[in-house]
Chain A
Amino acid sequence: MIDRFGRRVGALIGLAIGDAVGWPAVRHRAQLLPPWTRRLHRELDAFAEVQQVTTMPVPFALNQPTAPLRLGPSDDAEWVAWTLTWLRAADGPIGRDDVHARWRSAVADGTLPRGRISVATAADTLRRDVDPPRTGHDNPHHFDDAAAVRAVAAGIVAADPVQAATLAGWDAEVTNAGDGLAAATAMAQTISRLVAGESVTTAWATAAVSLPAGGLLAGTVAQALEATRDVPSPAEAVPLLADLVDHVYSYGVAAAQTMPVAVALAHVTERGGARPIDAVTAAACLPTLADSAPALTGALVGAGAGITALPTTWMERCRRLAGCCAPGLAGTDLVDLATGLDERTIRDQ
């Protein structure tokens, strides 16, 4: 029998595996190496262009420790761990003010982890004493999935799905708006329902009611579910989902892109009885979205199937954080983080 603890750990480890499996992970983790290694990487990129060779550079250590470049989680797992760490340490019911105050203090003392453009912009605005939700609204990447990733923490720790969505919304409005905010509340509610034992189909259908009608997120989710309706396995869903990938814009972290992939792959997995790991590795086959679509996918399938359904080989390599975005979390074990969690309630505000 899978219990709540097993599903909570499953969500965290599933997310970490997905975070690790995409190609951007090693580039995030390369931040732990000296800057000159990344400068040389950029120069090798230019070399390939100038010399017209097809040999592309990969992150490399030269004379430095190679550990950061091994398989392991990066930005998204660290952001969820950062969020979960302060949520589980909060004293009593959590209010909207508490959430915003946490961001302000992290910005003020310089401990906010390295994050996406939405996060960096919000941090810059918080420094100017601008309050949420303006920090998330007057934000060029208000639509990205930074908050949707963090929402996994709210989904794990909140006492029920409605409180999970509210809590995730308070956190999301600091950095996001529109589809970016809606993705976060839907993700938190879905994770909370999965942890409580609901199916992916039921949990998502209930959570998705709150998505803005006519928006890009709702539309693309509907397209992704429709396109993969009869697909027997996650691997076979990949080319169909690739048709939905935007190739106009310069960044691949829009919630309206990564969430539909994660949601569709979780449905295909549940319907076909596929192994959760197959959904995560399938998501990594969409290079444009590989920074976070596999992580979101892993959180959904991991929460649904529980930790025992995830391969030990993957878990053992992905459970510990590197500290590439939040140096203070280096070495943190995600299983420990999920152990002994008290459910959190919220204060009405």
Chain B
Amino acid sequence: MKDRAEGCLLGLAVGDAMGAPAENLTAEEIAARWGTITGFLTDSPSGTDDTEYAAFSALLLLEHGHALTSDHVADAWIEHLAGREGGFPGAGFSELGTIENLRAGLRPPASGRHLHSWSDGLAMRAAVHGIYAVGDPAGAARLATIDGVVSHDGEGIHAGVAVAAAVAVAMTGTATPREIGAAALAAVPADSWTARSLRVALDRAGDLPGLLDAVVVRAYPWTDLAPEAVALAFAAFLAADGDLPRSVTGAVAMGRDADTTAAIAGALAGAHGGLDAVPADWRAQIGPVTGRCLGEVVAGLHPIDLADRLAAHMEAPS
């Protein structure tokens, strides 16, 4: 369990750092600039908001466990994030929208109802809920929803639930990549945008042009749409048949919200394959979280240590 938790969070951090330079680019632009993606795109890869918000959600699970409530989450956002000055580097609209709502006194779920509530900001941090509720996709979905309604609504919640449920199933070590993808689909309402996008991912994972054509919204300039991001992430994971290096590089090569999609793909593949699935040279390049986005509350936390603490918590007698 510890091994898969470590693989999951390290895979997330690797994907985040590898995808960061490719964020908001198209597949064509990435191919022209870097050719075939085989590893990190810079000499000193660095994680972004995806790893930091996942670490933040992990801390909440470590403190409250299954008794976590949305009020706990909202209070933590207020205590650690709402008082920060000078903005939130690397964060998206949904995070600042949430903080503005919390500052205005709104509580969940009203705090998550803003103009960008359908972003992939919950999906990027929901792998930790899957780790915590290993083998229990419904429980993972419940935890992701409790965390998510503070900052998201509608499709933003669905996408987070999909990631959490899939990681919970992947963490068992007994599911195939297709079964992991199916678990994501089963966790969200059938008549949702997220479900329709995931179905495309399951059907067309090996057909990159067809996939991008079907799920990418061309008439929208931002890339952090949750239904699109989870479709690209799951397609990369499935096209690689769960292999971590190919899941992550495949997601990076697709572009769009590449740090988040690669982080999700890496989390899925890491939970599926365990720590050894992460190449040693990639692992060596992932250090502690800098806190550039969220500050002191997460600065210095290492994904491996967080994974160990989540795993220890799971294995402790209840």
Contact = CB atoms under 8 A, between A and B. Distances in A.
Interface of A: 117, 120-121, 123-124, 134, 137-141, 143, 178, 214-216, 219, 246, 248-250, 254, 256-257
B114 interface: yes
A138 B218 CA distance: 13
A292 to B, nearest CB: 15
Among all A-B residue pairs, the 3 with the closest Cβ atoms: A120-B219, A138-B193, A249-B115
Contacts of B222: 140, 250
Nearest to B113: A216
Contact of A124 (B115, B154, B197, B219): B219
Nearest to A216: B113
Contact of B118 (A117, A124, A140): A140
A138 B196 contact: yes
- DSSP majority for the B interface? loop
B116 interface: yes
A121 B115 contact: no
B115 A248 contact: yes
B257 to A, nearest CB: 13
Contact of A121 (B93, B114, B219): B219
Contact of B227 (A138, A143, A219, A257): A138
A219 B111 CA distance: 12
Contacts of A141: 220
Given A140-B225, A178-B154, A254-B115, A248 B97 contact: yes
Contacts of A216: 113-115
Given A215-B113, A216-B114, A121 B220 contact: yes
Interface string B249-273: 0000000000000000000000000
A246 B115 contact: yes
A143 B220 CA distance: 14
A121 B97 contact: no
B175 interface: no
B100 interface: yes
Contact of B116 (A117, A139, A248): A248
A222 B179 CA distance: 46
B93 A249 contact: yes
B25 interface: no
28 contacts: A117-B220, A121-B217, A121-B219, A124-B217, A124-B219, A134-B196, A137-B193, A138-B196, A138-B197, A140-B118, A140-B217, A140-B220, A140-B222, A141-B220, A143-B115, A178-B154, A214-B110, A215-B113, A216-B114, A219-B113, A246-B100, A246-B115, A248-B93, A248-B96, A248-B114, A248-B116, A249-B116, A250-B221
A124 B225 CA distance: 17
Contacts of B227: 138
Contacts of A214: 109-110, 113
Given A250-B222, A254-B115, 19 more contacts: A123-B219, A138-B193, A140-B220, A140-B222, A141-B220, A214-B109, A214-B110, A216-B113, A216-B115, A219-B113, A246-B97, A246-B100, A246-B115, A248-B93, A248-B97, A249-B93, A249-B115, A250-B93, A257-B115
Nearest to B115: A249
The interface centre, meaning the residue of A137, A215, A256 with most chain B CB atoms within 10 A of its CB, is A137
B112 to A, nearest CB: 10
A259 to B, nearest CB: 13
